[in-house]
Amino acid sequence: MQYKSLGTTDIKVSEFALGCWPFAGGKVWGPQDDDVSIATVHAALDKGITFFDTAEGYDDDSHSEEVLGRALIGRRDEAVIATKISPPHLVPNLVEQTCDASLQKLQTDHIDLYQIHWPNHDVAAEDSIAALLKLRDAGKIRAIGVCNFGVQDLTTALQSAEIVTNQLPYNLLWRPIEVEIQPTCLENNIGLICYSPLAQGLLTGRYASPDEVPDGLSRSRLFNNDRPLANHGEDGCEAEAFDAIAQVIEIAAELGEHPAKIALSWVRSRPGITSLLVGARSPEELDLNIPAFEYELPEGIADRLSAATEPVKAKLGSNADMWNGDNRMR
């Protein structure tokens, strides 16, 4: 397992970040046994994974934070905890009480990386960040990160504080951040934490055609807006995406590797990447993805994979918002 610093800080994290949203269960993930979730965290620590990402807004009741906190009892010093504050709570007089609630759920006296989950354009960014800086000065948080920030919002935030990370969707099928956001992060020493590195399972080879993808996973801008849960107002790029998936599967077969391993390794090879956020609901699921973090793509393969997905990148343009055609990542 490789380890990297969060931005310019001395906080070291594993390249594999365990995404803890599935621990929430509920309406998004369905039933989830807390004991299995806790066993998954313990297995991750045993295998050298030190970075755990959650949020107060997962499934509305912060259950993901609560489960992670329980899992880290007696092992807190082995872990780097990242959680998020939801946009409605960025009002300055709500920031500290929101952080305190997360600290209580997580059963810790500090959060290593406190992230703004999405921008709130109804609240002045400098006011929200001033409140976050007070938390840092008080020792309640160690570093400030953002999620889903485009160039404009990122530039505004940087005028008020050091932003160490930007958490964004990034995978072979979803490359809009390469147009503007990734270069801006590189220029400002902001590490990229990549969510959905397997395109919500599309890059595992699990689905042979768009028709096989369930409604909950076909609401992104990769799919046509006539999908039941889609609300982006665009035509999508299903043909281009599934042609690219077929090419990724073919390249993986040539190498004798699983397409998921190849896809994760491609993201790891990109510039400015700190960690990949990979969800796991059990120790067994965890084990499936660890080999990708011990593997380097052979020479020339990353370029072939990029070329295979270039038509998808061209169709999507610079809007990095997976679900909204109006681009909330301004």
Query: How far is the C-alpha of 255 from the C-alpha of 192, rounded, in Å?
Result: 28
* Structure token digits, residue 301: 């393969």
- Using alpha carbons, select from 183, 176, 210 the residue that is nearest to residue 312: 176
Sequence-distant (6+) residues with CB within 8 A of 115 are 82, 83, 84, 85, 144, 145, 146, 147, 165, 167
Active site (catalytic) residues:
58
* Nearest-angstrom CA–CA distance, 296 and 305: 14
User: Distance between CA 192 and CA 133 in Å, rounded?
Assistant: 21
Amino acid at 56: E
How far is 232 from 326, CA to CA, in rounded Å?
Answer: 8
Q: Rounded to a whole number, what is the distance in angstroms from the first to the last CA of the chain?
A: 34
